[in-house]
Amino acid sequence: MTLYSTVSCIEGHACRMVLNEKEVECDVEFVNLRQSPNPILEWNPYGESPTLVDREITLYGSHIIAEYLDDRLPHPPLMPPDPANRGRVRMMIYRCQRDWLRQLREFDEKNRKPSKALRNRICRSLASLGQFISEQQYWLGNDFTLVDCFMAPLLWRLSHYDIILPPQLKSIPLYANRLFARDSFSNSLSHVEREMNLSWGLEQVLALSKVPYLIEAIRNWAMDSHNTPQLVVETDFPGVYIPPQAMKHADNGVVVLNIHDRAIDKFDMNNDRIQFATRFSGEIHHIHIPIQAVLGIFSREQHDGIVFRSGQSGQTEERGSLNEPVSESGPLEKKVTKPHLQLVK
């Protein structure tokens, strides 16, 4: 089996990652399409990278190659078993190719950096399509699929294309690091691709945010001191789910929630998100807050705690009255005046 690919082709990179996931013996031949005659024309009438030759069959179109490899080499499976989820994988690869890979390639072919408009568009669409990534390991859920083999080469190239994700969108870099740490990814890189993101090894060290550890510490300190730990949350942050009854009391895109064990149930925090259940008007609601949406945490009684960052409004620790109380029972908090918070960078 031979895969022909250029040294920097994004789609070729995706197929190389699939091959490495399958741990199959395959020759990867790096080709130069500018050579005359184009070496791929022998196999593919379009002369495009990637092209796969496997015994008597030749395939091109990266999604076709990727699915063929998954059919031909079933372990580990990279497609879900059921038709609906297989359809989701196919749709996401289609969108990834159409909205991102093809457009970036067009700039590459002209030897130009992508326009600012395209970079902004990619940033926005990554943010909106990737907003659930903080709840799961991979793009479509907790199973690694072919979609991740297409996302990895794209995410690897973001800094190369000067596409800078907003700092509050940390779940995508965390997801990217999860992909880059796979052997199949590092083994799939050509020497040119390896140089595209030299800072990755350093950034990886930052992958574990200290924020959840600090939230846990301040929450425990407040509860052990018979005080009330209050979480300050940016309500518009993608992936925040707070029931409408609580949202009504948000002030300037910020809501303060009592997260004392007495006020909530099933508090569950990991490096990406906080979840808990609470009651409003006797009804149980499940709250979901990506860690990046947390602006700070402090004790209501001592007005002491930590600010992680300011909200979109630009206010910082000098934020005074955050919102009015609704009831003593739910997690909504009483008016807070000038907590003495320390800004943690």
**Binding site residues, ligand GSH, CB under 6 A:** 6, 9-11, 33, 48-50, 61-62, 97, 105, 109
**Minimum separation from the CB atom of position 116 to ligand GSH (A):** 23
Contacts of 93 (CB under 8 A, 6+ apart): 63, 66, 146, 147, 150
Q: Please identify, using beta-carbon distances, which residue of 19 and 218 lies nearer to ligand GSH.
A: 19
User: Please, which residue, 46 or 213, has the CB nearer to ligand GSH?
Assistant: 46
Long-range pairs of 22-28 with CB within 8 A, sequence gap ≥ 24: 22/69, 22/70, 22/73, 22/75, 22/76, 24/69, 24/73, 25/1, 26/1, 26/2, 27/1, 27/2, 27/3, 28/2, 28/3
CB of 161 to ligand GSH, least distance (A): 14
Taking the complex as a whole, how short is the minimal distance between the CB of residue 40 and ligand GSH, in angstroms?
7
Considering beta carbons, is residue 21 or 48 the nearer one to ligand GSH? 48
Measured from the CB of residue 86, what is the shortest distance to ligand GSH in angstroms?
A: 18
Half-sphere exposure of 252 (CA within 13 A, CB side): 14
Q: Please say which residue, 49 or 190, places its beta carbon nearer to ligand GSH.
A: 49
> How far is the CA of 288 from the CAs of 249, 280, 291, 329, in angstroms?
17, 15, 9, 19
Name the residue nearer to ligand GSH (CB basis): 40 or 165: 40
11 or 70: CB nearest ligand GSH: 11
Which residue has the CB atom at the shortest distance from ligand GSH? Answer: 9
In the complex, the smallest distance separating the C-beta of residue 53 from ligand GSH, rounded to whole angstroms, is 14
CB of 230 to ligand GSH, least distance (A): 50
Angle at 69 between CA 63 and CA 73, to 5 degrees: 155
* Cα–Cα dist 49/45, whole Å: 11
**DSSP run (H or E) holding 254:** strand 254-258
